[in-house]
Homo-oligomer: A and B are copies of this chain.
Amino acid sequence: MTTARRGRPGYDLESLLQVAVKLFNERGYDGTSMEDLSRKLGITKSAIYHHVPSKEELLRLSVDRALDGLFEVAASTEQLDGRAIDRLEHLVRGSVLVLADRLPFVTLLLRVRGNTKVERSALARRREFDRLVTDLVKQAEAEGDVRPDIDPAVAARLLFGTVNSLIEWYRPRRGSSGAELADAVCKMAFDGLRA
């Protein structure tokens, strides 16, 4: 079995994870076996198990890469002073940057359905994040900075619906940056498309 490794570059955990998340996104987590991953990497399954104990651990590391990014933005948002609407905009902008920077990981996170312990835990963290967003919208509305004619829970869902929908079409390219994308999202969501 070691012949499969001959002449191939070695993998560290990071490069293994990059390949795993790509495969999970293409075939679904349930539809991807360690056998598939070993074939894709051109290394043996035991070489993979040298880095991670299980497929579920690869899933955990992948969704945590996305969730940790989002919660770092949430933590930096909570450090800010000032009005809730500005903190909300900071949170939206930062979330788009995380999505653009960690696209395959965020894509996987958003497709998680809750069949395993890792998935259920990821869904729980997503709900926690969503509560932060809803709380900020409510606070901004209480401060008179968000229009009162949209339900704050609906506004929060629309906001992050817009952000999350980026995984369907955004592909990083030279000449287009996550910052421009974040700008466009914030312009539309906070001030509207209308001139």
Q: Check: A155 CB closer than 8 A to any chain B CB.
A: yes
Whole-angstrom distance between the alpha carbons of A164 and B159 in the complex?
Answer: 13
Whole-angstrom distance between the alpha carbons of A151 and B151 in the complex?
Answer: 29
* Copies of this chain assembled into the complex: 2
Whole-angstrom distance between the alpha carbons of A158 and B193 in the complex?
Answer: 10
| Chain B min CB distance to A51 (Å) | 30
Whole-angstrom distance between the alpha carbons of A162 and B163 in the complex?
Answer: 8
Residue tally, chain A, CB below 8 Å to B = 34
Whole-angstrom distance between the alpha carbons of A142 and B169 in the complex?
Answer: 25
CB under 8 Å from chain B, chain A span 15-41 = none
Given A147-B195, A187-B150, A192-B191: A161 touches B165 (CB 8 Å cut-off): yes
Q: Check: A190 CB closer than 8 A to any chain B CB.
A: yes
Given A164-B168, A190-B194, A192-B190: A158 touches B146 (CB 8 Å cut-off): no
What are 29 sample pairs from A and B whose C-beta atoms fall under 8 A apart?
Answer: A85-B194, A144-B195, A145-B194, A146-B193, A146-B194, A146-B195, A150-B184, A150-B193, A151-B184, A154-B181, A154-B184, A155-B188, A157-B169, A158-B162, A158-B165, A158-B184, A158-B185, A158-B188, A159-B193, A161-B161, A162-B162, A164-B165, A165-B165, A188-B189, A188-B192, A189-B192, A189-B193, A190-B193, A190-B194
